[in-house]
Structure 1
């Protein structure tokens, strides 16, 4: 029981850290403005991701969305919007 509480607490902390922005930045580089917000929105509305996680991705993406917005705003100066800028995130 103690492990379950520890695991769920860690999962909640990771989900509210703007991790959509970090994932998009690691995979694609800081090229697209607000790419973490776009990724969170894609995960919350992607039917395959919803089915694969039994709907658990929706609250995580919704909770992560404002934190990704903040992180993306701080890294906006690095976004060049070049040809590597992904507008569609495929899961």
Structure 2
């Protein structure tokens, strides 16, 4: 049986994979927070909830599985190319 060395040196495959997984987790957390604090505050100021807040109220906890969480739009009109949040 092959035993993997957990103290992998910089640049080795296991360490690189762990780094990529950590990047993915960080990216997902940013997507869950929404486009910005300012955008969320603007929704709340209008008496509205964010999409995730509405989903949380509608569904049982743990029953929602988001698909394409990191997807972005490709629209270019009206300055939308400057605003490309995840899950949009």
TM-score (norm 2): 0.32
* Bigger Rg, which one: 2
If asked which structure has higher relative contact order (CA below 8 Å, sep 6+), I would say 1
TM-score (norm 1): 0.31
Q: Structure 1 or 2: larger helix share?
A: 1
